[in-house]
């Protein structure tokens, strides 16, 4: 078993300084504390200055996964290393302390993960700060937020083209939690209609990634909100990439319909190029894709009983056309054969499969449709959601469902099932056929 290290980085020192600053700032915000009524206790005085809220959940769940037999991209599970079984225990406490001039938010996490099967037998224990930041409120219109936080925005479910930091917004997996990034930003809201925010991203948070494009980047966001519509424009400078330009808009024409769209434009210097000629050759990694665009259009309808249906279409400029996808998998097939031969050719084959696998976390195609049907997420009973995503280039489909059932006031049973339909040489059919995750969510406090 390997133990995760709790990082003692510059950020950790900054966080400690932020906490001390917060306490000092809040204490200074109410000098009348020093002249509080003699009959008030210290704790009563504290309650007059601070508000606080705590909540925390504990998760315990297991996942079983059935890999695609004779996978072209992942022969013998040697490239992507998908476990047959994963068992996870998580503690997710959240704390918030508020005052007139500053707020403090802390979301530490403790995670224990066992992965087995498929050549894996590994247990990992990690403690980390998923989010932790201070929000200073020097005036009613201005706030300064510093620390590790989620920079998520936009109305879309399937993906977020308007967000350079969180294109995959994890909405399709209700169990998964996004990681915060280290950023300082200034938010200025001169009125209820306008909000202007600018920020400097220091790092990508606890999930540090080598050659991270987010590191040392700047972002600017302008929001305008009307009575039943809003729009936003985002500009971000990312390292070694062209400037990101994006935006989103949504409108509520009546109490049942929601319409929305997102777009984003940037480049990717880590693109994967398939052989430029018609013959099958090698992949070329680290290719500059040039500026490409992504766009999403979507809408939802809410029925009288609170159930909602969502429909989204995504255009992914970084993806392959149908012809490009066929060639991608044809090249992977050749690499697969080479890998099985062993020797020098086998090494080349494994190298090419490794390159192909770098696309495993990205969307492969150019056109997608996404549908979601769910009940009211604010109701007190069983929560459920069914989802379907289809790659319109290769016609592969991913079906999934999520259900959360109340066993007791503090205990829920949940399940997430995923089924991939498609040929071996298709995006959703390439790596695994189905998976089932089930477990308990305990509302600790």
Partner 1 sequence: MKTLTQFGRRVVLGGLVALPVFVTSVAQADDAADAIVKQADPARGGGLAGIAWNIRLVSSGSDDATDGDRDLMVKANTTESVAETLSPVRFRGTKLLQADKNMWLTRPGLSKPIPISPRQRLSGLAANGDIAATNYANDYNATLLREEAVGGEACYVLDLVAKSHSATYDRITYWVSKQRHVALQAQFLAVSGKLLKSATFEYGNTIQADGKAIPFISRMTITDSLTPARTVMDYSNVQAQNIPRSAFDVGSLQ
Interface residues with partner 1 (CB under 8 A) are: 53, 55, 57, 92, 94, 135, 137, 139-141, 143, 145, 150, 152-155, 166, 169-171, 174, 176-178, 187, 189, 192, 195, 197, 223, 225-230, 250, 252-258, 260, 300, 302-304, 306, 308, 376-382, 406, 409-410, 412, 443, 445
Contact 186, 220 (CB under 8 A): no
- Beta carbon of residue 3, minimum distance to partner 1 (angstroms, whole number): 26
Smallest gap from residue 175 Cβ to partner 1 (A): 8
For partner 1, which is the closer residue by CB, 351 or 362? Answer: 362
3/194 with CB nearer partner 1: 194
Which lies closer to partner 1 via its Cβ, residue 117 or residue 174? Answer: 174
Q: How far is the CB of 319 from partner 1 (least distance, A)?
A: 22
- The minimum distance between CB 137 and partner 1, in angstroms, equals 5
CB of 235 to partner 1, least distance (A): 16
Q: Kindly state the smallest distance separating residue 250's Cβ from partner 1, in Å.
A: 6
Q: Which residue lies nearer to partner 1 by CB, 284 or 382?
A: 382
Closer CB to partner 1, 341 or 407, in the complex? 407
- For residues 366 and 385, which CB has a smaller minimum distance to partner 1 in the complex? 385
CB of 330 to partner 1, least distance (A): 36
CB of 205 to partner 1, least distance (A): 14
Closest to partner 1 by CB, 31 vs 409, is: 409
Measured from the CB atom, the residue of 46 and 395 that comes closer to partner 1 is 46
């Amino acid at each position: 078993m390997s133990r995760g290290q709790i990082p003692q980085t510059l950020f950790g020192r900054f966080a400690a300084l932020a906490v001390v600053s917060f306490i000092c700032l809040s204490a200074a915000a109410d000098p009348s504390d020093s002249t509080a009524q003699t009959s008030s206790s210290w704790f009563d005085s504290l309650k007059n200055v601070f508000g606080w809220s705590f909540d925390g959940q504990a998760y315990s769940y297991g996942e079983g996964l059935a890999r695609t037999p004779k996978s072209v991209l992942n022969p013998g599970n040697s490239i992507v290393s998908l476990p047959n079984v994963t068992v996870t225990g998580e503690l997710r406490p959240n704390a918030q302390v508020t005052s007139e001039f500053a707020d403090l938010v802390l979301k530490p996490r403790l995670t224990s993960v066992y992965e087995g099967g498929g050549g894996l037998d590994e247990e990992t224990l990690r403690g980390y700060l998923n989010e932790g930041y201070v929000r200073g409120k020097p005036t009613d219109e201005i706030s300064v937020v510093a620390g590790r936080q989620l920079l998520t925005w936009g109305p879309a479910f399937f993906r977020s083209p308007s967000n350079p930091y969180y294109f995959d917004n994890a909405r399709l997996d209700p169990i998964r939690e996004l990681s915060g990034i280290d950023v300082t930003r200034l938010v200025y809201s001169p009125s209820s209609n306008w909000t202007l925010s600018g920020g400097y991203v220091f790092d990508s948070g606890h999930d540090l990634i080598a050659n991270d494009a987010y590191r040392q980047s700047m972002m600017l966001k302008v929001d305008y909100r009307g009575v039943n519509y809003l729009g936003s424009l985002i500009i971000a400078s990312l390292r070694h990439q062209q400037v990101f330009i994006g935006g989103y808009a949504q409108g509520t024409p009546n109490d049942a319909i929601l319409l929305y769209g997102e777009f984003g434009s940037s480049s990717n210097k880590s693109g994967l190029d398939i052989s430029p000629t018609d013959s099958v050759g090698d992949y070329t990694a680290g290719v500059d894709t040039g500026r490409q665009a992504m766009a999403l259009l979507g809408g939802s309808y809410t029925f009288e009983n609170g159930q909602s249906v969502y429909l989204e279409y995504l255009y992914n400029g970084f993806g392959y056309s149908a012809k490009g996808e066929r060639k991608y998998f044809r090249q992977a097939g050749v690499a697969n054969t080479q890998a099985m031969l062993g020797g020098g050719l086998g090494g080349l084959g494994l190298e090419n499969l490794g390159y192909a696998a770098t696309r495993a976390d990205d969307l492969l195609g150019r056109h997608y449709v996404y549908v979601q049907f769910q009940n009211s997420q604010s109701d007190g009973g069983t929560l459920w959601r069914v989802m379907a995503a289809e790659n319109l280039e290769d016609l592969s489909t991913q079906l999934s469902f999520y259900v959360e059932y109340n066993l007791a006031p503090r205990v829920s049973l949940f399940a997430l099932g995923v089924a991939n339909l498609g040929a071996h040489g298709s995006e959703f059919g390439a790596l695994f056929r189905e998976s089932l995750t089930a477990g308990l969510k305990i509302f600790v406090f």
